[in-house]
Amino acid sequence: MAALYNLTAHELSAMLSRQEISARELTESVIARIEAVEPKVRAYLTPTHDLARQQAAEVDERRARGDSLSPLAGIPLALKDILCTRGIRTTCASKILHNFVPPYDATVVSRLREAGAVCMGKVNLDEFAMGSSTENSAFGPSGNPWDVERVPGGSSGGSSAAVAAGEAIIAIGTDTGGSIRQPASFCGIVGLKPTYGRVSRYGLVAYASSLDQAGPMTRTVLDAAMVMNVISGKDPRDSTSVDLPVPDFTQACRPDVHGVRIGVPKEFFAQGVDTAVAQCVREAIETLCELGATAEECSLPSIEYCLAAYYIIAPAEASSNLARYDGVKYGHRSREWAGHIGLMEKTRAEGFGAEVKQRIMIGTYALSAGYYDAFYKRAQQVRTLIRRDFDRAFSQYDVLLTPTAPTTAFRIGEKADDPLAMKLADVCTLPANMAGIPGLSLPCGFIEGLPVGLQIYGKPYDEETLLRVAYTYEQATDWHTRRPAL
């Protein structure tokens, strides 16, 4: 039998329910794996092995009593370190929060706790989720398990690396412009960004409030559906969460795409997308057509303005959200200051990294008097055009298929001096956040030993169709069964 840390959540859930293994055995297997490979992968910022052992023991006791348990009970979980965790350090990979311990759990975290998932710890990210590689982390970059000299993607790079390396069975990431899907592509796993409002943002430390969304990062599509069943649903503490029934997403995981209409937006195969990546994606589309779907090229003309509009809207919201880090209420406080303004200036200068400072300045400029209409208002108008393009496309097609990222994982440091090239790593994923629609990435091939991701866009609150199409493709291929040889 394969090592327990190499198995999927649904396989392990079945083994646990049949009592072939215990939650403690599974947890110890993952802890041993973390100790073996973490020096290379560097996924974890705050491991919680003692807590994990305690939670696993509680699951075993409840199972022995005959209690009714969630399918996620006993499954080892990694949490992106931007989700508040009661009693566990939450840093956002920033010096300004290096010693912050929240007094409460994010709703996503509390729902997973209630389901019995076992918390292995908090994992790395780009500082405040601003980046595409984890290189912006104040604690250093993580390595991609397929090649530790390369980035795992970002901003949820620690989450993707942990799952791909067997350091967690499932993980939670957040996605503001592709931060679940792009690292999932780079690490050869499944990443699902739900529709905006499907999952509560309460306790998710805000970067850009109209774009942020938490979601699952897993080895398989069925695993992602299992996590979605737990984390989805209305939360009275988040006014942007939507009061819609939560379906059993696992029921959508059936191999059937007969009659599914696929749109293939030509803009996502334009200049900048590696030809080998595009070829892998086109072969995946052909596979789905052989399985009963139909596909045709379409156009989303406003997409060419998406990157520019995003990098006005997201920094503008960041400028507002990050104003709370002032050295007074919590987090880092400078020891050398004079007066309230001096305290704030000195604290923020010491606590924020270069990328965060840059985005705050861009956002503050875009919102300033005399420039608001020229930049922020116009970017919001472009956002409306992007949403209308998707609405038109979804009146004809059930899903849209694109590459997740224009390239495979790049080397650590390769794009450090080229901020535009770094931002272009998210060019295929940004539109989902701007339009508020769901998007999913799953592996569809390898180029020179590095994974390639297929991205599926769906209609708002129609994660079920995304999961069905993804599951059908996954079951017809073996990309998801491959593991990196760390």
The reported pLDDT for the residue numbered 383 is 98
The two three-digit tokens of residue 122, written as one number: 């908090």
pLDDT mean over 430-446:
98
Active site residues: 80, 155, 179
Average confidence (pLDDT) over 331-356: 92
Helices (H), 428-486: 430-435, 463-476
Segment of 205-209, 343-347, 370-374 carrying the highest mean pLDDT: 205-209
Residue in this structure with the two tokens 């156009």, named with its chain if needed = 299
Distance CA 324, CA 471 (A): 42
pTM: 0.97
Q: How many other CB atoms are found less than 10 A from the CB of residue 207?
A: 27
Question: Per-residue pLDDT tens for 195-245?
Answer: 999 999 999 999 999 999 999 999 999 999 999 999 999 999 999 999 999
Token output for 367: 């919102």
Token pair in block for residue 351 = 């606590």
Cα gap 128→290, rounded to integer Å: 43
How far, in Å, are 57, 58, 62, 215 from residue 67 at the CA level?
14, 11, 5, 28
- State what percent of residues in the chain have pLDDT above 70: 100
Helix H or strand E encompassing 450 = strand 450-458
Mean pLDDT in the chain? 97
List, for residues 52-110, the tens digit of each pLDDT value: 999 999 999 999 999 999 999 999 999 999 999 999 999 999 999 999 999 999 999 99
Instruction: Give the Å distances, CA to CA, from 208 to 107, 176, 297, 416.
Output: 18, 7, 32, 23
| Phi/psi of residue 358, nearest 5 degrees | -60, -45
Instruction: Give the three-state DSSP class for 352.
Output: coil
**More confidently predicted of 271 and 345:** 345
Rounded to an integer, what distance in angstroms lies between the CA atom of residue 342 and that of residue 327? 10
DSSP state of 194: P
Asked whether residue 1 carries a pLDDT value surpassing 70, the answer given is no
Structural fold of domain 4-261+402-481: Amidase signature (AS) enzymes (3.90.1300)
Sketch the domain layout of the chain as residue ranges: 4-261+402-481
Strands 450-458 and 439-447: antiparallel
Going by C-alpha positions, the residue among 251, 249, 231 that lies closest to residue 115 is 231
What is the side-by-side strand order in the sheet with 399-403? Answer: 44-47, 118-123, 76-80, 170-174, 214-218, 190-193, 439-447, 450-458, 399-403, 261-265, 294-298
Give percent of the chain above pLDDT 90: 94
Residue 155 corresponds to which tokens in the numbers above?
């901003």
Residue 66 CB coordination number (10 Å): 7
Place of tokens 């949820």: 156
- Helices and strands counted in the chain (H then E): 15, 11
Using CA atoms, how far apart are residues 427 and 196, in angstroms rounded to an integer?
19
> How far, in Å, CA of 155 to CA of 160, rounded?
10
What digits encode the pLDDT tens for the residues 145-159?
A: 999 999 999 999 999
Q: Is residue 271 over pLDDT 80?
A: no
Between these two residues, 439 and 337, which has the higher pLDDT value?
Answer: 439
Measure the CA–CA gap between 185 and 194, rounded to whole angstroms: 16
pLDDT of 338 higher than 90 = no
In angstroms, the CA 380 to CA 384 distance is 6
